[in-house]
Structure 1
């Protein structure tokens, strides 16, 4: 997808009401769809055009827009593509959705069941001429997807429901359901708008329920041949969630590049006066240098790892357990490292950093939401690491297995294996919950740091940035490195100090190398835009007073 801009991204969203911002996010999503010009093959085969759309800088500026597109393009269109090949009657709808003329949703999770998708309650009762779709209990309401009516756009959803044929449960299957026309919900469908999420980009997240909706026989998107194996059928239907786990973190990486850029620019332009009257930039202080340089280093390393993740999407079958495992590692690592940097950078921006229009605080809250989207990282990490410990399958070995980060990942795995072997009941022992579940995300994060560092080594990332990333990983588990690598607190500080000194003189060069500055409009970036911001606020306050 080429770099492009759209006038909607020049609007000052902090001056809009939540409802106006929601409508703006939909307008932006349509603009991105039209500019990306995706095809059926792009969506089905996960081509560079598909990946490029998810990595475009403008999505980090409006994560509400990014959420619309993630649900619409990957989950809705990606799932629909599985049926289009044997159902050509679906192609006109598919093409409409590609152009943004209708918006699609993916209604899987229920408010009472969370990640327990085998326990879904929504029912589709088979009739001679179709189905009756119903929400039998309050706990069966579909949770989160933005299904409220839009004044100008129709919405349609893939709804997962339990198929009942003559009172016999045939498992959970997807159904195609028009949920709203322009300006109104379809009869019998209710979408209750959820309260806004604190600090994040607003979107019309909702609780959706169905009151005996009559569906035609063609609404069933499932494959009848899979009806006998309910678990296999459902896993095949929701395989695009794995793709989402790889694509959603792209926004976090882009956001981290922006946060690092904002933090450095502010730290270089902001000055304080010393006792002798001399004026120095706050970037002169180590407490300012550390979060900015750590953010830069992490952004560089995760960015090249994201390129490898994009290649893996095209190289490995989405039904492969290895891709599913790597997706969990990628999402867990990117989101956890990015969130730590967002918080540290935002705190060093002072009071200005707490405002959403200066980006960093808002992207932190948005990515906290993405930690849960497409599978909560703690839960998915527990499942993955438990299966690795039980040797159900293995992940690819780290290319550079001799690095300190690779040894850390192996060390945690060996420690957990030792604990597992000591449990009389194995993975079903009650102490597995007490001793090993809390280690699972730690182990996954260690794997991710070693993979990312290894890829950065091969991609030519500058040595000072590599050293800083290594220091960032060490401080995440300082006790292990002290016990196993002889890196106590003094040694850690000396390594950190050496890395900072090597990187500091190249800071502007590293920021320019991110190629992201032109996409950032945060007033805090430059003195002139900050002064203009203050002038606009003054005018608005005066007008309000009158």
Structure 2
């Protein structure tokens, strides 16, 4: 998918990973600097580019398929030493692509602002769209409308704090690539998985208006689908992380409060997975591991990410380092309750809370959030990012007046009345 076509009007150069063989001896997969095309638009010798069609919903660069055949390179094109730094090719390769982990974290941080903007768009539309007669009411007054919007805005605020803390943890663990993989992987899995489900629901809650790209939500939803795959498909990342953690090779950061509800949920899921694995045959590459553990990978890693997000938001609120979006107790409580409602059976099965108690707790959290909802929806800091016509009647009317229009001839009856 990397862009390599000459359409940009500028010379392009790539880092290409290829197997290095010196005097018949395999030196492993190594990185090389390879020119792809020049500013005139000519592809370099041996390089072929096949341009992909545009992706729906994304204003993306020119993704392409690039292939190489007998490309001549000077010796200095090799990045690194001629001979590997160790006898472990895998470690050498992972060290060479360590920036991918940086990208895994960085590219996922956009989810917080995407959720915030999309929640505001849906909220402003829902406040203006009215139903009922003779006394009409805004559709935002219905729990099926304000509920998803409030939860999404609460998550946007929590994820904003989580992003800041994840970046700090990533930097602090600069010499520990395994820990960086855990931090980046857990963050991406948690925010990307939630974002995809949340934006899909917002599109539905805006009816036919939500389907169109000019109202932004469906567009960013599809764009973020690309981000969930770029720099590592988050499900594949979870398979690797969960396997490594169960094998004892990795360990996520420990909970600051092991007794908090999300930490207990996290611990319970990992303990259950370890018990399942202990009963399996064939090791971590066997059929039973594939059938029973791999489907648990995403829920396991997300449980860790949800807990870490909660801790980051709580610390930002308690310790006064609340930069960016304002973290409130109401938003934090609604975030926590939403996470719990996603796995009600675990809390019931472990005797922590009944289904009725979970529901009552969630309704209370939502009701406490509602007085803040109007201010969050109409936050002026978001205005610069909102251009959806459906949020404002005048803007919507101007948008429709700009569309191509086709009109039939006047009826005879109308023409007769006009003459009279």
Task: Please give the TM-score of this superposition, normalised by the length of structure 1.
Answer: 0.69
Q: 1:317 is paired with a residue of what secondary structure?
A: coil
Measured against aligned partners, the alpha-carbon deviations of 1:64-96 in whole angstroms (never above 9, x if no partner) come to xxxxxxxxxxxxxxxxxxxxxxxxxxxxxxxxx
Q: Aligned-pair RMSD on alpha carbons?
A: 1.9
Given that residues 191 and 209 in structure 1 are in contact (C-alpha distance below 8 angstroms), is that contact kept between their aligned partners in structure 2?
yes
Counterpart among 166, 191, 196 of residue 49 in structure 2: 191
Given that residues 263 and 345 in structure 1 are in contact (C-alpha distance below 8 angstroms), is that contact kept between their aligned partners in structure 2?
yes
Counterpart among 303, 309, 313 of residue 170 in structure 2: 313
Distance 2:348 2:55 in 1: 40
Distance 1:322 1:451 in 2: 14
**What's the CA shift for 1:267?**
1.0
- 1:285 pairs with 2:142: yes
Q: Which residue of 2 aligns with 1:509?
A: 375
Distance 1:230 1:259 in 2: 44
Counterpart among 242, 258, 263 of residue 101 in structure 2: 242
Q: Which residue of 2 aligns with 1:102?
A: none
- 1:536 pairs with 2:393: no
Given that residues 146 and 205 in structure 1 are in contact (C-alpha distance below 8 angstroms), is that contact kept between their aligned partners in structure 2?
yes
Distance 1:530 1:414, change over 3 A: same
Distance 1:514 1:494, change over 3 A: farther
Q: Which residue of 1 aligns with 2:36?
A: 179
1:414-433 pair list within 5 angstroms: 414-433=271-290
Distance 1:306 1:292 in 2: 21
Structure 1 consecutive aligned stretches of length 4 or more whose deviation exceeds 6 Å: none
Given that residues 170 and 184 in structure 2 are in contact (C-alpha distance below 8 angstroms), is that contact kept between their aligned partners in structure 1?
no
1:116-131 pair list within 5 angstroms: none
Distance 1:369 1:514 in 2: 29
**What's the CA shift for 1:425?**
4.2
Counterpart among 118, 124, 127 of residue 259 in structure 1: 118
**What's the CA shift for 1:291?**
0.8
Given that residues 16 and 31 in structure 2 are in contact (C-alpha distance below 8 angstroms), is that contact kept between their aligned partners in structure 1?
yes
Distance 1:315 1:428 in 2: 33
Bigger RCO (CA 8 Å, 6+ sep): 2
1:470-481 pair list within 5 angstroms: 470-481=336-347
Distance 1:428 1:188, change over 3 A: closer
> Which moved further from structure 2: 342-351 or 166-175?
166-175
1:78-227 pair list within 5 angstroms: 144-182=1-39, 183-226=41-84
Distance 1:485 1:358, change over 3 A: farther
Q: Which residue of 2 aligns with 1:333?
A: 190
Counterpart among 331, 350, 357 of residue 491 in structure 1: 357
**What's the CA shift for 1:173?**
0.7
- 1:270 pairs with 2:129: yes
Unaligned runs of 5+ in 2: 318-326, 408-420
**What's the CA shift for 1:296?**
0.7
Compare CA radii of gyration and give the structure with the larger one. Answer: 2
Given that residues 49 and 65 in structure 2 are in contact (C-alpha distance below 8 angstroms), is that contact kept between their aligned partners in structure 1?
yes
Distance 2:285 2:50 in 1: 41
**What's the CA shift for 1:449?**
0.5
> Which moved further from structure 2: 364-373 or 443-452?
364-373
Given that residues 120 and 376 in structure 2 are in contact (C-alpha distance below 8 angstroms), is that contact kept between their aligned partners in structure 1?
no
Distance 1:206 1:283 in 2: 43
Distance 1:488 1:365 in 2: 37
**What's the CA shift for 1:525?**
2.2
Counterpart among 178, 185, 206 of residue 349 in structure 1: 206
Q: Which residue of 2 aligns with 1:360?
A: 217
Distance 1:400 1:431 in 2: 34
Distance 1:356 1:168, change over 3 A: same
**What's the CA shift for 1:476?**
2.2
